[in-house]
Structure 1
């Protein structure tokens, strides 16, 4: 998704000039960078890093701050 009030949302990919996947960054519904993945030259996952959200969603009924709704579990 390119136009969203919180910036990037969902998975974003970086490819090299031959079409090989280099990296994937996953953003939540609030534009938080949640996961970074980097792939080796054969396409295998070489590194994965998880990040805590920095922007939280405020429940209008309770005022409680939480991560993006689909991250609740």
Structure 2
């Protein structure tokens, strides 16, 4: 498991107002109630926390938390 998972899990849980134990690598963001406003909040929180730049195409309702981690890792490789 990625060392970044706990931070991503906590961001998702906080922004979507769900218990952190409902968030795992296979959780689809849309099943937790991700809407357009929450998506923007999540993108900004991830950018701030992980010092990466994301677009609204990088994450959507159909993505799993594991997909979010993969995007963060890929962006770090490009920007780092």
TM-score, normalization by structure 2:
0.23
Larger helix percent: 2
Larger strand percent: 1
